[in-house]
Amino acid sequence: MASHSSVREHEETPHTINSTTSAISEALKRRARSIINDKSTDATARAVIHYSLEINDPWLADLVRRVDAGESIIDDAGFLQRPDSNEERLKH
Protein backbone atom coordinates (compact mmCIF):
# COMPACT_ATOMS: atom_id res chain seq x y z
CA MET A 1 0.00 0.00 0.00
CA ALA A 2 1.38 3.36 -1.00
CA SER A 3 1.78 6.18 1.45
CA HIS A 4 0.44 9.57 0.41
CA SER A 5 2.41 12.36 1.97
CA SER A 6 -0.08 15.02 0.83
CA VAL A 7 -2.91 13.47 2.83
CA ARG A 8 -3.02 14.73 6.37
CA GLU A 9 -4.43 12.71 9.18
CA HIS A 10 -7.83 13.90 10.43
CA GLU A 11 -7.42 15.50 13.81
CA GLU A 12 -10.20 15.00 16.30
CA THR A 13 -11.39 18.31 17.62
CA PRO A 14 -13.33 18.06 20.84
CA HIS A 15 -16.80 19.49 20.45
CA THR A 16 -17.72 22.01 23.06
CA ILE A 17 -21.27 22.50 24.14
CA ASN A 18 -22.43 26.00 24.80
CA SER A 19 -24.34 25.62 28.04
CA THR A 20 -26.50 28.67 27.29
CA THR A 21 -27.63 27.23 23.95
CA SER A 22 -28.33 23.86 25.56
CA ALA A 23 -30.31 25.48 28.35
CA ILE A 24 -32.38 27.46 25.88
CA SER A 25 -32.98 24.38 23.78
CA GLU A 26 -34.00 22.31 26.81
CA ALA A 27 -36.17 25.14 28.09
CA LEU A 28 -37.89 25.34 24.71
CA LYS A 29 -38.47 21.59 24.71
CA ARG A 30 -39.91 21.75 28.23
CA ARG A 31 -42.23 24.62 27.27
CA ALA A 32 -43.34 22.76 24.13
CA ARG A 33 -44.11 19.64 26.20
CA SER A 34 -46.05 21.81 28.64
CA ILE A 35 -48.19 23.16 25.79
CA ILE A 36 -48.73 19.64 24.43
CA ASN A 37 -50.02 18.49 27.83
CA ASP A 38 -52.21 21.56 28.40
CA LYS A 39 -55.75 20.47 27.50
CA SER A 40 -56.93 24.10 27.49
CA THR A 41 -54.77 24.73 24.40
CA ASP A 42 -56.43 24.06 21.05
CA ALA A 43 -55.96 20.38 20.04
CA THR A 44 -54.73 21.28 16.55
CA ALA A 45 -52.15 23.70 17.94
CA ARG A 46 -51.00 21.02 20.41
CA ALA A 47 -50.63 18.53 17.53
CA VAL A 48 -48.59 21.03 15.49
CA ILE A 49 -46.31 21.75 18.48
CA HIS A 50 -45.94 18.00 19.13
CA TYR A 51 -44.97 17.29 15.52
CA SER A 52 -42.61 20.29 15.41
CA LEU A 53 -40.91 19.04 18.56
CA GLU A 54 -40.52 15.54 17.10
CA ILE A 55 -38.89 16.75 13.88
CA ASN A 56 -36.82 19.52 15.50
CA ASP A 57 -38.62 22.10 13.39
CA PRO A 58 -36.72 25.41 13.19
CA TRP A 59 -40.09 27.20 13.64
CA LEU A 60 -40.72 25.53 17.01
CA ALA A 61 -39.57 28.56 19.02
CA ASP A 62 -41.86 30.86 17.04
CA LEU A 63 -44.80 28.47 17.32
CA VAL A 64 -44.34 28.13 21.09
CA ARG A 65 -44.01 31.91 21.46
CA ARG A 66 -47.21 32.49 19.49
CA VAL A 67 -49.20 29.88 21.44
CA ASP A 68 -47.90 31.35 24.71
CA ALA A 69 -49.05 34.80 23.55
CA GLY A 70 -52.51 33.45 22.79
CA GLU A 71 -52.06 33.90 19.05
CA SER A 72 -53.47 31.44 16.55
CA ILE A 73 -50.98 29.32 14.63
CA ILE A 74 -53.70 27.92 12.36
CA ASP A 75 -55.52 30.19 9.89
CA ASP A 76 -59.26 30.21 9.18
CA ALA A 77 -58.86 27.62 6.41
CA GLY A 78 -57.05 25.24 8.77
CA PHE A 79 -53.53 25.83 7.46
CA LEU A 80 -50.43 26.53 9.51
CA GLN A 81 -49.64 30.23 9.41
CA ARG A 82 -46.18 31.34 8.43
CA PRO A 83 -44.16 32.74 11.33
CA ASP A 84 -44.46 36.30 10.05
CA SER A 85 -48.10 36.13 8.91
CA ASN A 86 -49.47 37.62 12.15
CA GLU A 87 -47.02 40.50 11.95
CA GLU A 88 -47.88 41.13 8.29
CA ARG A 89 -51.60 41.15 9.11
CA LEU A 90 -51.03 43.75 11.82
CA LYS A 91 -49.16 46.04 9.39
CA HIS A 92 -52.06 46.21 6.93
Tell me the pLDDT tens digit for each residue of 28-76: 999 999 999 999 999 999 999 999 999 988 899 999 999 999 999 988 8
Confidence of residue 23 (pLDDT cuts 50, 70, 90): very low
The domain ranges of the chain are 19-91
Binning pLDDT at 50, 70 and 90, where does residue 12 land?
A: low
Whether residue 89 is predicted with pLDDT greater than 70 in this model: the reply is no
Task: Give pLDDT, residue 10.
Answer: 52
Q: How far apart are CA 36 and CA 39, in angstroms?
A: 8
8 has a pLDDT exceeding 60: no
